[in-house]
Amino acid sequence: MRQLYIGGAWTASASGETIDVVNPATEETIDRVPAGSPDDVEAAVRAARAAFPSWSATAAGERGKLLAAAAELLTARAPEIARTIATDMGAPLGFSLKVQTLMPAGVLSHYAQLAESYPREERVGTSLVVKESVGVVAAITPWNYPLHQIICKTGPALAAGCTVVLKPSEVAPLAAYALAEIFHEVGLPAGVFNLVSGRGPVVGEAMATHPEVDLVSFTGSTAAGRRVASLAAETVKRVALELGGKSANVILPDADLPTAVKAGVANCFINSGQTCSAWSRMLVHRDQYDDAVRLAVEAARKYTVGDPFDEASRLGPLVSATQRDRVVHYINRGQEEGARLVLGGTESPHERGYYVEPTIFAAVTPGMTIEQEEIFGPVLSIIPYLSEDEAVQIADDTRYGLAGAVWAGTEERAVAVARRLRTGQVAINGGSFNPQAPFGGYKQSGVGRELGEYGLDEFLEVKSLQL
């Protein structure tokens, strides 16, 4: 029976209740985690508060050493953790290893270095400006990159000298348990990191309202983020939000169309489309539209959907029955609203497991539900435009602004269009994801930035000393 990790010890939940963890490929229950209670949150926040004075006063180099040891252990345990993520979340094993596990290990290692190297003071005229640890951090994370999202918060928080109470997603919580074991093994002092698994409205809300929590760092849906921010406002906490997206892949007429379409399909379907920054809308000039649709269908046909442990699978199942139903609902909606289904659909390719075929809609027009709302599944909408201005206008015309891409004949032209977009990250002619560059959203995609030095700043308060 799994237990919560509070104050440096494995502890039974006060609730005595559990949550089933289900393998989305087999639909079988594979584990159970405690359904934490507000009393558990109380104990964890108290432990984090008690640990804060000495952890924040610990030499940055010492903190960095502990984080480096944790990153090493995470790397050593990566094959096993990748299997865990493939099992509770459904990502294909190779992807689970490389992206879901080794990438966050690299991010943690980078924060181990930044703990010491990041300057914590500067002179501004006659003042000395110092950056201090924010305090107790409540971290609430989703299931789609279950370890990465945790590291994006825990790495910089611990490097900054904050203490942490983590509530991982109840849907794919097992990687968080492995991380707690690692922090314990490397000797992180008691109370510096605490794990309370459980449901959002119970554990997450208790964390967001707790007066001894100084900052809530939330990643998840815009609806839940809005709720967390409003609860946190009661005690005027700092709030960092990493929310949903509906990102546009803008392909300009002078771009290399086959390359742009192929990369666009790959980006949309990565992690079975369960990626907040997925380029789920492909914008193509009217003159190239039919070619783009044909190329996209050709590329998407190569995406074998199946068992995450089968090497031939490029896409695994969706994470849960709920998520599968949500995606199927959107596919039906797209057809009802007149978009043209050119690949995939609502039929599952397997009898068991929460699978959805790679799906492509053509003739998608601005304002359709599938063009506006985050689907979070392998569903691509291809939208025609007539001018660069119209492409920018369509790209920006959603409530989100998390990521996107621009493809053009020259980097200069792509950069010029990217500068016009109201979004947090833009890939230029296929530029790859950089885990040291700031990541976060404009508009309702969020508040604040994660990763790299910008991500560390989220966990630092600023004090001016007038000399």
Identify which of residues 231 and 391 has a Cβ nearer to ligand NAD in the complex: 231
Range 415-419 contact pairs with CB under 8 angstroms and sequence separation of 24 or more: 417/250, 417/252, 417/388, 417/391, 417/392
CB closer to ligand NAD out of 264 and 441: 441
**Catalytic-residue membership of 242:** yes
Q: 253 is written with which tokens?
A: 């007429």
β-pairing, 238-242 vs 215-219, is: parallel
CB of 195 to ligand NAD, least distance (A): 12
Q: Which residues pair with 163 in a beta bridge?
A: 136
Instruction: Provide, rounded to whole angstroms, the least separation between the CB of residue 220 and ligand NAD.
Output: 3
Q: Does 448 bind ligand NAD (CB under 6 A)?
A: no
Residue 316 is a binding residue for ligand NAD (CB under 6 A): no
| 87 versus 197: smaller Cβ distance to ligand NAD | 197
How would you list the strands of the sheet with 238-242, edge to edge? 9-11, 4-6, 193-195, 163-167, 136-140, 215-219, 238-242, 446-447
Q: Which stretches of 161-197 are DSSP H helices?
A: 174-186
Is 143 a binding residue for ligand NAD by CB under 6 A? The answer is yes
Whether 181 is a known active-site residue: answer no
Whole-angstrom distance, CA of residue 461 vs CA of residue 202: 29
Residue with structure tokens 């792509």? 414
Catalytic choice (152, 162, 170, 242): 242
Examine residue 90 and tell whether it contacts ligand NAD (CB under 6 A): no
| CB of 385 closer than 8 Å to CB of 284 | yes
Is residue 19 helix, strand or coil? strand
Q: Which of 152, 162, 268, 276 is catalytic?
A: 276
CB 423 within 8 A of CB 438: no
- Stretch of 32-40, 61-69, 241-249, 338-346 contacting ligand NAD, by CB under 6 A: 241-249
Considering only residues 159 through 198, tell me which ones interact with ligand NAD, judged by CB under 6 A. Answer: 167, 169-170
Q: Which residues neighbour 52 within 8 Å (Cβ) at sequence distance 6 or greater?
A: 133, 135, 136, 162, 163
Distance CA 143, CA 87 (A): 12
Torsion of CA 80, 9, 114, 178, to 10 degrees: 10
Under the criterion CB under 6 A, does residue 221 sit at the interface with ligand NAD?
yes
Residue 194's DSSP bridge partners are 165
Which residues in 370-409 contact ligand NAD (CB under 6 A)? Answer: 374, 376, 402
- Region of 17-25, 216-224, 326-334, 339-347 interacting with ligand NAD (CB under 6 A): 216-224
Segment contacting ligand NAD by CB under 6 A, of 131-139, 201-209, 308-316, 340-348: 201-209
Choose, by CB under 6 A, the member of 11, 100, 133, 149 that binds ligand NAD.
149
Q: Is 13 in the site for ligand NAD (CB under 6 A)?
A: no
Nearer to ligand NAD, 284 or 402 (CB): 402
Task: Candidates 100, 144, 163, 217: give the one binding ligand NAD (CB under 6 A).
Answer: 144
The neighbour count for residue 287, using CB atoms within 10 Å, is 10
User: What's the token pair of residue 245?
Assistant: 């997206």
Encode burial over 323-358: b for 16+ CB neighbours within 10 A, e otherwise.
bbeebbebbeebeeeebebbbbbbebeeeebbbbbb
Element containing residue 59 per DSSP (H, E): none
- Binding status of residue 204 toward ligand NAD by CB under 6 A: yes
Q: Which of 174, 243, 257, 328 binds ligand NAD (CB under 6 A)?
A: 243
Number of residues that bind ligand NAD (CB under 6 A): 31
Phi, psi torsion values for 235, nearest 5 degrees: -110, 15
As a whole number of angstroms, the distance between CA 319 and CA 452 comes to 28
The dihedrals phi and psi of 405, each to the nearest 5 degrees, come to -150, 150
Residue range at the interface with ligand NAD (CB under 6 A); choices 70-78, 82-90, 141-149, 454-462: 141-149
Q: To the nearest whole angstrom, how small is the minimum distance from the Cβ of residue 300 to ligand NAD?
A: 21
Residue 200, interface with ligand NAD (CB under 6 A)? Answer: yes
Complex with ligand NAD: residue 167 or 262, whichever CB lies closer? 167
Closer residue to ligand NAD (CB): 429 or 445: 445
Cβ of residue 318: shortest distance to ligand NAD, in angstroms? 11
Q: Is 219 in the site for ligand NAD (CB under 6 A)?
A: yes
Q: Single out the residue of 227, 285, 324, 413 in contact with ligand NAD (rule: CB under 6 A).
A: 227
Smallest gap from residue 456 Cβ to ligand NAD (A): 16
- Contacts (Cβ under 8 Å, ≥6 apart) of 125: none
Told to check if 142 binds ligand NAD by CB under 6 A, we report yes
Q: Is 88 in the site for ligand NAD (CB under 6 A)?
A: no
CA–CA–CA angle 172, 175, 180 (5° rounding): 130
Query: Pick from 245, 273, 384, 455: which binds ligand NAD (CB under 6 A)?
Result: 245
Positions marked catalytic: 242, 276
Binding site for ligand NAD (CB under 6 A): 140-144, 149, 167, 169-170, 199-201, 204-205, 208, 219-221, 224, 227-228, 242-245, 276, 374, 376, 402, 441, 446
